Amino acid sequence: MKNVRITSILVLLAALGTAAAVPASAAPKDAAIGYWARQITVTSWNVLRERSETNSIFEGASRRAVISTMGEPAQRLSQDVWVYDDFAPDLAEARQRGCNILVVTFVGEKLATMKFVNTPAEEKIAAAVKAGQSGHYASDS
């Protein structure tokens, strides 16, 4: 079972890797686009302490730490592929290209990858997961 998950993650890593290399003006409107993230920083209000708190999630974090910091995902495409809506990446180009959906994948109990994607990319990922390709990112190429 673990080898299947690792293979799924490797396929996931390869498929949308070049999408961000295409200039925004040259990409078709319905192109699946994504940008890798190594760290996600979430600022929230602590009601008890009456102040904002900033927490970060890195690759290798536990599922529990992800939920504690980011809350429940908007969707769980599978046990290992989660989707968070309405995130704002720091990279201006990613924001301009509509990549405000965060897709996170796990291997076992650890966070393996994080990627900001646009709606067409999220739809392709969801279709691939539904088709049994466990976390496969569909590619436009």
> pLDDT tens across 76-127, in order?
999 999 999 988 898 999 999 999 999 999 999 999 999 999 999 999 999 9
Q: Comparing C-alpha atoms, which of 121, 112, 77, 130 is closest to residue 7?
A: 112
Integer Cα distance of 68 and 120 in angstroms: 28
The per-residue pLDDT for 118 is: 96
The per-residue pLDDT for 27 is: 63
For residue 49, name the pLDDT band (cuts at 50, 70, 90): confident
Integer Cα distance of 49 and 53 in angstroms: 9
Identify whether the C-beta of residue 127 lies closer than 8 Å to the C-beta of residue 83: no
For residue 6, name the pLDDT band (cuts at 50, 70, 90): very low
The per-residue pLDDT for 73 is: 97
Is the model more confident about 76 or about 25?
Answer: 76
**Nearby residues of 52 by Cβ (< 8 Å), 6 or more positions away:** 43, 44, 45, 46
Distances (CA, A) of 61 to 4, 28, 72, 80, 138: 20, 35, 15, 13, 25
pTM for the structure as a whole: 0.74
Looking at 1-5, 52-56, 123-127, which range is the least confident one?
Answer: 1-5
